[in-house]
Every structure is written in structure tokens, then in C-alpha cells.
Homo-oligomer: A and B are copies of this chain.
Amino acid sequence: MPVIDGDRLVRDLEMLRTFGQCGNGVVRQSLSEVDMESRRWLVERMTNAGLDARIDGIGTVFGRSRNPGKALLVGSHTDTQPTGGWLDGTLGVMYGLETVRAFAESRETRDLAVDVASWIDEEGTFFGLLGSKMFCGLVGEGDLDGASSADGTTLHAALRDAGLEGRPLERCVPDRYRAYMEAHIEQGPWLEEEKRRIGVVTGIVGIRDVSVRFEGQQNHAGTTPMARRRDAGAALVTFATRVHEVFAAHAGPRSVWTIGNIRLEPGAASIIPGRAWLNLQYRDADEARMDRFEDHVRDLVRESNARGLVAVSMDATKDRTAAALMDADLQRHLEAAAECHAPGAWMSMPSAAVHDAQNLAQVLPSAMLFVPSKGGISHAFEEDTSAEDIVLGCQVFADAVASVLLEGR
């Protein structure tokens, strides 16, 4: 069976870390200059590993195996949040690369076909899970016309600046593949909590984003009596407080909700905000409960509008990803490899984070492997995983990929 080279893996992870490094963290948002540099570096690494590699028309780095037979597709993402950690999805992409290299070095596996992808914009700088959605045909190019980053750059402009405009797009040809497998850091506290080193993912929670706008009357903060104010900011903080109360009252064991961004306009000390905006995101493995959460938000919008001073409106159509189950058979292969290299030190668990595997699961049997996140911290500069866990995870992953493909023979 394949034997991965832990030093080579960690060296490459450290190398990729230098693209956009910021202290212990990394700032490498999709299609930024440094992100494109890192993609060109990745194409070179894939090519050296024998893959036919290129960056496609949306920014995804795709390395295709030249070996015959059904292939297994390994992927994740190398883009980061505005203030991201060094591993996150990067780990899964480098696991794929190291798996390909280890396979080539072992007689048993050298002719197995493994493709590796780094899906563009999983973090949603322009459009969440963009690369995997495009590959799986879950978005048409028309859906992307409105896509733009927080600073107003449109996706189309970013693709043009990155020199990707007009390049061909990689599309999923299901017949080519036996399955899709993805590794990622857990991003949560559970593995550490349970003293386990490997997580085999049973399913991925769904995610919904709601954007709520408040329209009041901008006015002078000194001369406008309290009784005559239509303060969009005051309406927003009351609304947000109610959201936390109501969601807490109806939450399931693993429900989470976050108001990650708030904006008051014009945002000056001595002006009553005339407009305000917040983003509410919530996640749950239970789609029915997420429907109920959405109803609660509608009720709170009605409740706020009933006061009649500030006009509140919500948009719940934005970024939604449905919960997805992982393939049971693939989980069996991951469990066997985990039990072999870390007896008793693995567990089955749901993923509370959204992943590209959610999209791939709609067109291919899919599975995910997790390694522990120190302190459960991620999407932050402090994010980290021990070298031992990084190397163990890759060996388990490579073994599972091999046994899936060999079983298919």
C-alpha cells in the first residue's frame, strides 16, 4: 500500500503558506494577485507529480491523472477568508497531491487514476463554493452576473484581471469517476474534546444567509427629539437582540447562528443612521429546523415593521447550501484505514462547516476526512494542527483512496 512522505507534505504546506502569509495566518482571498501566484505554483507542483494540470476559466486548479480506468477525484480549496488560517482547505488539496506522489512510488498503486482539484472561492469572496458548484453544473454563468466582493469588484472583472477570461471550464463527467473524497481540518472542538485524531464525516450541515435592511430617516443627532426619530441603527440592534433570543429558544443541539456583519449609514457620531444592514447566517443538519428559523426571522421582520418607524426587509434567497449525507461505503473505507493507523482514535461525526463535498455529493458518491483543529479555532490566524496529526491524516486518506480504487478493480 502507498506510504506518504510526511516531510515532503509538510514542506509543501509550509511553502504554500508563504503565499499571503501574515504572522501565523494567511490572507489569500480568491483571485487576488497572491492567490493567482499560489495557483500557478500549484499547477507546477501537480505537473511535477505527473498530472496534466491547469487553471480553468473560473480559477479552479485542476490536475488530471494520465492513468487509465475509473478515477477518484480528490479536492478542496486553497483560497482563504479575509483573515484565514494556514491549513483549512489547503490541507485537503495537498493531501491529494501527496496521495498522487505516494501512489506513483508504490507498485500496487502506481497505475491508479487520481485527479486533484483546488476549487476556486470556497470561502465566498465573490460567490461561496464557486468552483465546485461550477464543476458540478449547479450554477450557470448567468447566476454569476451579480457576484462581487465586499469592495465592489465584480467576479467578471476579477477573472479578467487574473487573465482567466475565455479559458475553458472543467466540467464533471460522472462516468470518469468512482467517487469524490475531501480532507479538511475539523474547524471545531469535538475531535480534541474526544481525544480522537481522525474524524469520518457522516454528513454536512446546511447553511443559510439572510440579509436584513433597515430604512429610517437620516437626521441630526442633536436637534432631532427622540420621539421623532426613525433611527435605522436603533431598530437594527433591537432586531439583532431579538434574533439571538428567539434562535436560542428554538435551537437544536448543533444549531448555530451568527450576525457576522453590521453596517450603519452614513456611520458618523452625530448623525442618526438613515439606513442599516446586517447579515445573519445559520446552520443545521436539519433542513426542517432551518425552515422554522427562516419563519422566525420573517416574524421578527413583521414585529419590527409593526412599530412603523423603520422599514425592515429581508433577503433569504442569497447563498443557501442544503445539508448533504456522505456515502456510507466510502465512510467504511475511511473507517478501516483510520482503525489501521490510529486504532480507537477516530470517530464518526457531522460537519458543522460547509464544504465543496456538499456540491460533489450531488453528482458523485462523496466522503470527507477531518483532522483536529487546536482549540477548535479556524478562520483565524491562530488556526493550527499538530504535524503528527497532519501526517497521520494524510496516510489514512491515501490508504482509503487506494482501497476504494483497488476494490473497484
Q: Name A's interface SS.
A: loop
B244–A269 touching, CB < 8 Å: no
Q: Given A261-B264, A269-B261, A228 and B379 touching (CB < 8 A)?
A: no
The distance from the CB of A303 to the nearest CB of chain B, in whole angstroms, is 14
Question: Which of the 9-residue segments A36-44, A154-162, A173-181, A232-240 touches chain B?
Answer: A232-240
Bitwise, A175-206 to B at CB < 8 A (1) or not (0) is 00000000000111100000000000000010
Binary interface encoding of chain A residues 226-249 relative to chain B, with 1 for a CB under 8 A from any of its CBs, else 0: 101001011001101100100010
Neighbour of A225 across the interface among B189, B218, B270, CB < 8 A: B189
> Which of A124, A220, A281 has most chain B Cβ within 10 Å?
A220
CB of A376 within 8 Å of the partner chain: yes
Chain B contacts for A255, CB-based, 8 A: 226
Given the complex, which residues of B lie within 8 Å of A262, measured CB to CB?
233, 237, 262-264, 267
Is B220 in contact with A233, judged by CB distance below 8 angstroms?
Answer: no
Shortest distance between the CB of A220 and any CB in chain B (Å): 4
Q: For A283, what are the chain B residues with a Cβ–Cβ distance below 8 Å?
A: 221-222
- A224 within 8 A of partner (CB): yes
Q: Knowing A219-B376, A220-B379, A266-B82 touch, does A231 contact B258 (C-beta < 8 A)?
A: yes
**3 nearest A-B residue pairs (beta carbon):** A188-B223, A221-B258, A237-B240
User: What are some 28 contacts across the A-B interface (CB < 8 A)?
Assistant: A81-B268, A83-B218, A124-B269, A188-B224, A188-B225, A205-B222, A207-B222, A217-B377, A219-B378, A220-B353, A221-B256, A221-B281, A222-B352, A225-B256, A226-B248, A231-B258, A233-B259, A233-B260, A238-B241, A259-B264, A260-B264, A260-B269, A260-B272, A261-B267, A262-B262, A270-B281, A271-B380, A274-B380
Known: A221-B379, A231-B258, A260-B273. 17 other contacts (CB 8 A): A189-B224, A189-B228, A218-B379, A220-B378, A220-B379, A221-B256, A222-B283, A222-B354, A223-B353, A225-B256, A233-B259, A233-B260, A237-B237, A237-B241, A268-B379, A269-B319, A274-B380
